Amino acid sequence: MVTGRTDIAELELTELEHAVCELGVERFHARQMYRWVHRRGLERFDGMTDLSVTLRRQLETALTLTTPRIAARDQSSDGTEKFLFRLADQRTIESVFIPDTPAQTFCVSTQVGCAMRCGFCLTGQMGLVRNLTAGEIAGQVRVLARELHLQDRRFNVVLMGMGEPLHNYEATMKALRMLATPEGLALTPRRVTLSTIGMAPALERLAREPWLPNLAVSLHATTDAVRHALIPTSRKQRLADLVAACRRFPLKHRDCITFEYVLLAGVNDTEADAHRLVKLLRGLRAKVNLIPLNEAPGIPFSRPPDLHVDRFARILASGKIIVSVRKSRGRDIRAACGQLIVEGGPHQSPGQQAAAMVRS
Mind telling me the catalytic residues?
94, 337
Q: CB 62: neighbour CB atoms within 10 A?
A: 18
Which is nearest to 334 in space by CA: 161, 213, 191, 186? 161
Q: How far is CA 310 from CA 260, 267, 326, in A?
A: 16, 16, 12
Encode burial over 41-51: b for 16+ CB neighbours within 10 A, e otherwise: bbbebeebeeb
CA 49 to chain centre: 33
The DSSP symbol for 283 reads T
**Rounded to a whole number, what is the distance in angstroms from the first to the last CA of the chain?**
64
| DSSP summary character for residue 294 | -
Helix, strand, coil % over all residues of the chain, rounded to 5: 40, 20, 40
Q: Give the torsion through C-alpha atoms of 152, 187, 49, 140, to 10 deg.
A: -100
| Alpha-carbon separation of residue 89 from 8, 92, 167 (angstroms) | 17, 9, 21
Other beta carbons within 10 Å of 217: 22
Q: In angstroms, rounded to a whole number, what is the distance separating the alpha carbons of residues 264 and 224? A: 16
What is the phi/psi pair of residue 331, to 5°? -65, -30
**Where are the strands (E) in 224-278, listed by range?**
257-263
Report the alpha-carbon distance of residue 205 to residue 190 in Å, rounded.
19
Question: Whole-angstrom Cα distance, residue 119 to residue 231?
Answer: 7
